[in-house]
Amino acid sequence: MTSGTHKKNPFFIGGRILFFVFLMAVAVLSGRFSDILNLHSLVFVLVGGTSLILMSFTVHEITAAFKAAGSPAGSSPENSRSFIFWESAARNFWMMGVLATLIFFVIALTNSKGGVEGIATRMASALIPTLYGGIFCVVCLVPALKLKEIHKDILVEKNEGWYGKGQKHVKVPFRLENVFGFVVFLALVVEKIIRTEFSSDSPIFSAWKWVIYWPSLLVVLGGAILLVLFVGNSARGKTLTLAFSVMGFLGLLIGIIQVLLGLSSRNIQDISAALTFIVSSCFFALMGMMLAGAPLEDWSVKDQKGEKHSTLSRVAWFIFPLTTLIFLVITFFLVITPVRK
């Protein structure tokens, strides 16, 4: 067996992955990194990210993507779809990690146990899901980068007339696994919020009201719909992704302006409403991008063989969640900092 064949052997690849996992487990369990080991957060991100993948891809496409990651053969269209899959999977886990952080952040606010110190500790621990999402994102980017050159070859072949004119419409699959992905994702998010609403011993705030704040819903969802109607039905997934991210940024700016005005007047009620606006705007924008924008764009890219995700969509998928994290950290300091009248 040659060296190249040896490296493509599935058992050899699996062995390297297991060895890497073993080293990571030793590092985490050694004690120094034990604080970042949270099984509940890990399962939440893993199940949520997997359900997002099932929204856009079939079982056959997922199986083919794993095979292509081990030993890509030539420049076949299957490898092009595999590249799209791994890129989308990386995006999904990253966004799911940030969404989980936002939800756990809100959960930390609903429980007054331990006073300000306890709230601060729980809010800081809410960042752990983003770490897991980032790790899964990097893992998925490895095969994506491996298949990137093959995907470029498919684009060249498309331009030379291999596939003719691309389809201008989006075929929505509605296969069983796609529907299952939507159901599992929504059930995971809603169940977490509702269970928190009824299980908190001495809640300070309502978790449901923090994420479902109607003024922010009007700004994000209403604004996104208006932008899509203005642009039209072309590239619906790309338009929705950009629309939700833009309106999410707008909601963040409105919220931070309200916070600054509340701080200047030292009005605790205004500051609380502004923080709610920020958190809820991030929640609605992320949910819109994950439930509508990303799946529609994935279906569109797969239908138009050899196409690729929009550059603006890629920027929105990775930059807006990062911006959400920054604003959550700002909210964290505002919550634990007393406002004197």
Span 59-110, pLDDT tens digits? 888 888 888 776 655 555 566 778 888 889 999 999 999 999 999 888 877 7
Neighbouring CB atoms inside 10 A of 57's CB total 27
Q: What are the tens digits of pLDDT across the range 175-226? A: 788 889 999 999 999 888 887 766 665 555 667 777 888 888 899 999 888 8
Tell me the C-alpha distance between 341 and 339, whole Å. 6
Predicted pLDDT at 19: 57
- For the chain, give every domain's residue range: 12-336
Question: What CA–CA distance (Å, rounded) separates 89 from 56?
Answer: 10
Q: How many CB atoms lie within 10 A of CB 73?
A: 11
CA nearest neighbour of 234 among 293, 313, 169: 169
C-alpha 266/C-alpha 269 separation (Å) is: 9
* pLDDT tens-digit map of 283-305: 999 999 999 888 988 888 876 65
Question: What percent of the chain has pLDDT above 90?
Answer: 21
- Cα 244 from Cα 184, distance rounded (Å): 22
Nearest CA to 316 out of 274, 276, 288, 277 is that of 288
